[in-house]
Structure 1
Amino acid sequence: MKAAVFVEPGKVEVKEVEKPKIDGENQAIIRVIRASVCGSDLWWFRGIADRESGSLIGHEAIGVVEEVSDDVTDIKPNDFVIVPFTHGCGHCVACINGFEGNCLNQKSGTNGGYQAEYMKYQPVNSGLVKIPGKPEDYTDDQLASLQILSDVMATGYHAALNAEVKPGYTVAVIGDGAVGLAGVIGAKLLGAEKIILLSHHDDRAQLGREFGATDIVSSRDEEAVKNVLSLTKENAGADAVLECVGAESAIEQAGQIARPGAVIGRVGVPHAEPKSNQLFWKNVGLRGGIASVTQPDKEVLLQAVLDGKINPGKVFTKSFDLDHIQDAYEAMSNRDAIKSLIIVNDK
């Protein structure tokens, strides 16, 4: 089968590799319909993080189950499924409490290989999310919105949940990439009345407004802080802040625009820890981390997509076939695309 592999920083390519096989319990072989490039993939593509040359890549997909191991009870062949980037066992303390991304029984090194014609996933019973019907029942736009549920939409929603967004809140979102834009959707789903998106790109700001942002702040640094505060009650700051970048400066800014007692929902993977004590002096909470996918998809996000209530697949501004995987990565690395969709197999 064809699969995308990492060659060296700045270079990925498609190679012929052996198709995966069932070789253990709670496993499924999936024919991938759609995959995508994640912002975190750019770490090793740009040489910021290490990755083994020749390793399979990608951690976001939807597809059709081809085969399952004998012990699988909840999924069967021909089921159309969301394939999460997480691998929660479903029964440990972390999973039971809704933090499947921190599963205590998750095996290391299980992510990779989603950008391929076929992939193996485990644990099936607690991880995969069934989509009603089959791929041909959906338009390409709907498939894009289903695909985004494998990671980014769940991550943006996770930011809003961790920030404890409540109906009527004023929410500020730092980061106008796919995760930040998904955060706007998440804040709206939780009832935010005012959503302030900090964005420096017109196309992303426009999409943010479409998703539910009521205000755009395009200024930077101290001016941005001033402008955000001016949009809040008594200039005190936002009731909740979604930090979807991960840079030290983003956490610092989040603390500056949060009102006393607010909570910052943090899903941008940190490059450095904040050094300021401002969060303490303002009684501002900081929480977040790796998102759960399975539970939010089953309880909220999948139905919202099926009902047409949200259309998060619009963050895919360019699409490619698997043979043009290098172009897909370059488009995101060069900021020519908000997010790259990979069309792997026909419906």
Structure 2
Amino acid sequence: MRATFMYGAGDVRVEHAPDPVLREPTDAIVRILRSCVCGSDLHPYHNLPASEQGTPMGHEFLGVIEDLGPQVSGLKRGDLVVAPFAYSDNTCALCREGLHTSCPNGGFWASGDVGGGQAEAIRVPQAAGTLVKLPVGEDSELLPSLLTLADVYGTGYHAAKQAQVSPRTTVAVIGDGAVGLLAVLSARQLGAERIILMGRHDDRTKLGIDFGATDVVPERGAEGIEKVRELTRGQGVHAVLEAVGYMNAYETAVGIVRPGGVISRVGVPQYEDAPVGFGSLFGPNITLTGGPAPVRAYIEDLLPGVLDGTVEPGRVFDRTVTLDEVPDGYRAMDGRTALKVLIQP
């Protein structure tokens, strides 16, 4: 099969690789119909050390089950399924508490001996607990939106959920990437009436307005903080959904959150230190939350809205490439000429 590997910063290659095979009785083999490039994939694209051993790439995919281990229940060959970006057994105490990303029997795609999703096929560990059957056909127009359930929609929803967004909540979303835009959508779904989107790309912020943003703040740094404070009569916002992961975004979050508020971080942190002392968070009773989204916990809740067309999270995809064109997709996202790239093997 063909699969995507990264050999160092900026060095993405699509190569032939061995077909995946069942290794455990709880495995499944999935033929991938749709996958994509994630904003978090750009972090290694910028700084991965060069290596002769390529790193498999991709953690968002949906496809058709081609083979099953004997201990996989509830699924069959031919089922169309979506996989969250972390696999899990969905039965342990942590999974039952909605913390699938901490499952002791789980893990992440493109790590260890588990392949990546930017490929033609993949081995899925803990298949019964991980894969969610989709009640549509392989040619459904909903596939792009259904693919967002693998990560970005669930991650945006996790940011809003962890921040306890409700109709009384004033929200600021930092970042106009796919996760930030779907955090806007999720905040609106949870009832927020005032949603400030901090982003500076017009095509993206226009989509954010369609998703429910009431205000757009393109300014950054101290100027952006001042603008949000002006919009909130100097008080700041109840909830900050930080979908970037860089230190300047975190500092902005600290600058715009109101006393008693919540900073919910789902952007993969690209900093080693963050001020969490008395003056920044402890004194004003500010909560810091977030983390890798246990999207498996949210798929059943978010799926009906996608199926009935109430929401269209797949609108974040603005470019489609073939598997062989994946390196071009990385360049487009890195150059900000694409918001999120859809891959059709």
- Common fold: TM-score over 0.5: yes
Q: Which residue of 2 aligns with 1:245?
A: 244
Q: Which residue of 2 aligns with 1:118?
A: 121
Indicate the SS of the match to 1:235: coil
Q: Kindly tell me: are residues 53 and 334 of structure 1, through their superposed partners in 2, closer, same or farther at Cα, counting changes over 3 Å?
A: farther
Q: 1:135 aligns with which of 120, 135, 138?
A: 138
Q: Which residue of 1 aligns with 2:323?
A: 322
5+ residue gaps, structure 2: none
Q: Kindly tell me: are residues 67 and 14 of structure 1, through their superposed partners in 2, closer, same or farther at Cα, counting changes over 3 Å?
A: same
Q: TM-score, structure 2 length as denominator? A: 0.94
Q: Which residue of 2 aligns with 1:292?
A: 294
Question: For the Cα contact (< 8 Å) 2:58–2:116, is it kept in 1?
Answer: yes
Alignment of 1:89-104 (within 5 A): 89-104=89-104
Q: Do structure 1's residue 331 and structure 2's residue 332 form an aligned pair? A: yes
Q: Which residue of 2 aligns with 1:81?
A: 81
Q: Which residue of 1 aligns with 2:344?
A: 343
Alignment of 1:1-347 (within 5 A): 1-48=1-48, 53-107=53-107, 109=111, 112-136=115-139, 138-139=140-141, 142-232=142-232, 234-272=233-271, 273-275=273-275, 277-298=279-300, 300-344=301-345
Question: For the Cα contact (< 8 Å) 1:34–1:61, is it kept in 2?
Answer: yes
Q: Kindly tell me: are residues 267 and 51 of structure 1, through their superposed partners in 2, closer, same or farther at Cα, counting changes over 3 Å?
A: farther
Indicate the SS of the match to 2:318: strand
- Give me the whole-angstrom Cα distance separating, in 1, the residues matched to 2:255 and 2:55: 41
The one-letter code sitting in structure 2 at the alignment partner of 1:33 is L
The one-letter code sitting in structure 2 at the alignment partner of 1:175 is G
- Range 91-100 or range 104-113, more displaced: 104-113
Q: TM-score, structure 1 length as denominator? A: 0.93
- Give me the whole-angstrom Cα distance separating, in 1, the residues matched to 2:200 and 2:115: 32
Alignment coverage as a number of residue pairs:
339
How far residue 106 of structure 1 moved from its aligned partner, in angstroms, is 2.1
The one-letter code sitting in structure 2 at the alignment partner of 1:243 is E
Q: Kindly tell me: are residues 49 and 309 of structure 1, through their superposed partners in 2, closer, same or farther at Cα, counting changes over 3 Å?
A: farther
- Give me the whole-angstrom Cα distance separating, in 1, the residues matched to 2:136 and 2:230: 48
The one-letter code sitting in structure 2 at the alignment partner of 1:115 is Q
- Give me the whole-angstrom Cα distance separating, in 1, the residues matched to 2:131 and 2:259: 40
- Give me the whole-angstrom Cα distance separating, in 1, the residues matched to 2:130 and 2:212: 30
Indicate the SS of the match to 1:146: helix
The one-letter code sitting in structure 2 at the alignment partner of 1:295 is A
Aligned-pair Cα RMSD in Å? 1.6
The one-letter code sitting in structure 1 at the alignment partner of 2:67 is E
Q: Which runs of 4+ in 1 moved over 3 A?
A: 48-52
Question: For the Cα contact (< 8 Å) 1:162–1:264, is it kept in 2?
Answer: no
Q: Deviations over 1:2-55 (max 9, x none)?
A: 111223321222222221111212111111000101111112222256777323
Identity percentage of aligned residues: 43
The one-letter code sitting in structure 2 at the alignment partner of 1:247 is Y
Q: Kindly tell me: are residues 41 and 52 of structure 1, through their superposed partners in 2, closer, same or farther at Cα, counting changes over 3 Å?
A: farther
The one-letter code sitting in structure 1 at the alignment partner of 2:10 is G
The one-letter code sitting in structure 1 at the alignment partner of 2:308 is D
Question: For the Cα contact (< 8 Å) 1:198–1:216, is it kept in 2?
Answer: yes
